[in-house]
Amino acid sequence: MQTEPLPAALEPLPVGYRALFSRLLAVVREDERFRAFWLSGSLARGVADAGSDLDVILAIRDDDFDGHAESWRDWLATITPVLLARQIPDMPGSFYSLTTDCLRLDVVVEPVSRLATTPFRRRIVVVDHDGLDAQVPPPVDRAGPDLERMAFLVEEFYRTMANFPPAVVAREDWLLGIMGVQSHRQMLYELFVQANQPLPPMGVKQWSSKLTPEQRSVLEELPPLDVVPGVLIEAMRATADAWQTAGRATLEAAGVAWPAELAAATRAYFDAEISRWV
């Protein structure tokens, strides 16, 4: 019997995904409840690589949706053994899973009647018994930067920076300090990403792709973190410097005023308190 060719979108995935996909396809084809099968996620966006998941969407007959939602674990067991599988929050019958080969299979199941309002607009048809793909709305234009969020991130950085001397240095809680500095850097990352919107659709695990080369350099050149007090304090200072320079330039380039008084007062307080405790 001739083997059905695999979709070209699967080629970037590790070889183990080919057998997993073929088994999933066979199970779906044999089950009349499922009326359509699409690839989604990075596969549908054309940006999949070796770190991508096998993301799929299935359309199921409305009358069969509740039954599948109650028994999806049993259905999954007919496809592959798994190490874990969890329902996607607020999406009965849909799940993400990790197979015993550590492959990642994520499945969204939608009743046929909801296809016209689905939030999952980018998909590649694998099986379509009833011409359902025509009901899927086209992708919407992506929004630009969220200026309120950008302003909030700056204010939140300085608010939490003011807590570093008493909560970390005075208490000598250097583990807290490491977590705090890391969160401050993550907020700067988010500020950069917001400024770059709209970005091409991409997955949550694709971090560096969301940055410009200059933004990436700012974050990569920050000093490493360590529980050694002096090293950690200098890492916090360097992070604050990055906010003052690259963060300020990013905010102002988006047309949002820099909170100069907040920034100056917080930095002066930080320096004075560090000198008092160290």
**Average pLDDT per block of 10 residues along the chain, 278 residues long:** 75 96 97 98 92 97 98 98 98 98 98 97 97 95 94 98 95 96 98 95 84 98 95 97 98 98 98 88
Structure tokens at 161: 């920076």
What distance lies between CA 160 and its chain's CA centroid? 24
CB 202, CB 41: distance < 8 Å: no
Reduced to 3 states, what is the DSSP secondary structure of residue 271? helix
Chain length of the chain = 278
Per-residue model confidence (pLDDT) at position 204: 77
At 4 the pLDDT is: 66
Q: Is 151 helix (H, G, I), strand (E, B) or coil?
A: helix
Fold of the domain built from segment(s) 8-135: Beta Polymerase; domain 2 (3.30.460)
CA distances for 156 relative to 84, 243, 263, angstroms: 36, 12, 11
pLDDT at 26: 96
Cis peptide upstream of residue 145 (ω within 30 degrees of 0): no
Read out DSSP for 75-108?
Answer: HHHTT--EEEEEEPTT-TT-EEEEETT--EEEEE
Beta strand ranges found along 7-152 (DSSP E): 34-39, 54-60, 82-87, 95-99, 104-111, 124-128
pTM more than 0.95:
no
| Cα(37)–Cα(92) distance, integer angstroms | 18
Report helix, strand or coil for 110. Answer: strand
